[in-house]
Structure 1
Amino acid sequence: MELPVADSQQSPTLAEVSRAVVSVAASLVTNVQRAVAGPTKVPTARDNAYFAMLADRARNQARDDLTREVAALLSTTPTRNLAKTR
């Protein structure tokens, strides 16, 4: 008696192929970066998080500075009464 066996080899889908290509490309870029810059110069996730935090602080400081400058301008600038039109 012979039992039917399903075909165990399926062709990869487009999503699987694209994931594999992206994975290989990422590995290649990482290896090239390590070879060119040296393993100690490759940024880590901790480095990326630290630099993102510094950028956030700088943006917040710039926004606060601008808010203070605008408030100072508004407090010292006399208000103008515009003439009514029609």
Structure 2
Amino acid sequence: MTTPESPSTIGLTTISRTVASLAVGVVHTLERAVVGEARVRTARGNAWEAVCADRARAGQRAELDRLVTELAAARAAARDRQPVS
């Protein structure tokens, strides 16, 4: 049993994928030309930047926690020093 072959057509998704693929290629080539080969963003570079940003946020969070703890301790000490009326 043979099935009739449908004519080859280009669908909307095929065109979209083709355009997206060409756009990525153009952007990649343009980036290499503008910033130079050594400064092209890579997945490894992006991951390292994310790690550094996470570390910076953790450091800021720790500093804020330390300041809040100091402030709470100072308020408790000031409350303890006030005479009771």
Under a length normalisation based on structure 1, what TM-score does the superposition of the two structures give?
A: 0.75
Under a length normalisation based on structure 2, what TM-score does the superposition of the two structures give?
A: 0.75
Which ranges in structure 1 are unaligned for 5 or more consecutive residues?
81-86
| Change in 2 beyond 3 A, CA 1:4/1:22 | closer
Which aligned segments of 4 or more residues in structure 1 are displaced greater than 6 angstroms?
none
- Higher helix proportion: 2
Amino acid aligned to 2:38: T
Which ranges in structure 2 are unaligned for 5 or more consecutive residues?
80-85
Give the aligned length: 77
Partner of 1:76: 74
SS of equivalent residue, structure 1 residue 40: helix
Give the distance between the partners of 1:62 and 1:16, measured in 2 at CA. Answer: 47
| Change in 2 beyond 3 A, CA 1:16/1:34 | same
Q: CA shift at 1:30, angstroms? A: 0.7
Task: Among all aligned residue pairs of Structure 1 and Structure 2, give the percentage whose two residues are the same amino acid.
Answer: 38
Alignment of 1:1-80 (within 5 A): 5-12=4-11, 14-78=12-76
